[in-house]
Amino acid sequence: FVFLFFGFLAVVGTYFLYVKQLTYFVFFPAFTIGLLSTAVLNLNNMRDRVSDKNSGKNTLVVKIGPEFAKYYHYYLIASSFLFTFLYSVMNYSSFYQFLFMVAYVPLIKHVLFVMNNKEEAKLDGELKKVALSTFFFAILFSVGLFL
């Protein structure tokens, strides 16, 4: 739901409202925003895994466990980068299009922290980092397209 709402509906819907047509290229940034938004939800579920399990919540993280949840989290962030990089290469007009890469510096640090973390409570501070990095990405990506 998060992936579809924040990715497809928000990005593709907004694009369609302004342009009145669809191209397959718009799905690349939609995937990116959807994946990064899902990463925020996944991180929240990783942090709350024990309490969710004890209260009977059946989240994906509860189902797959903490180790696979880390790899899933890595996949979400790494694939978000890949979709935007491919979009920028396929629609290249200026090196400014790669300005979005700056937003991945804190995300790389974040992924390294998550992969090495053993205490789920320490993930609380990481939620803000991922959410702000997603916002920062959206701004840099947009600015890069207009420059």
Selection from 34, 59, 39 nearest residue 114 by Cα: 39
Is residue 108 within 8 A of residue 131, CB to CB? The reply is: no
Chain CA centroid to CA 26, Å: 16
The pTM assigned to this predicted structure is: 0.94
Grade residue 1 by pLDDT with cuts at 50, 70 and 90.
Answer: confident
Dump pLDDT digits (tens) for 117-141.
999 999 999 999 999 999 999 999 9
Give the type of residue at 104. Answer: Y
Other CB atoms within 10 A of residue 33 CB:
23
Residue 41 domain boundaries: 2-146
Instruction: Give me the number of domains the chain comprises.
Output: 1
Selection from 102, 38, 49 nearest residue 75 by Cα: 38
Q: Is the pLDDT of residue 35 over 90?
A: yes
Give pLDDT, residue 108. 98
Selection from 25, 137, 10, 147 nearest residue 80 by Cα: 137
Give the type of residue at 70. Answer: K
Is residue 73 within 8 A of residue 39, CB to CB? The reply is: yes
Nearest-5° Cα angle at 116, 53 to 63: 25
pLDDT > 70 fraction of the chain, expressed in percent and rounded = 100
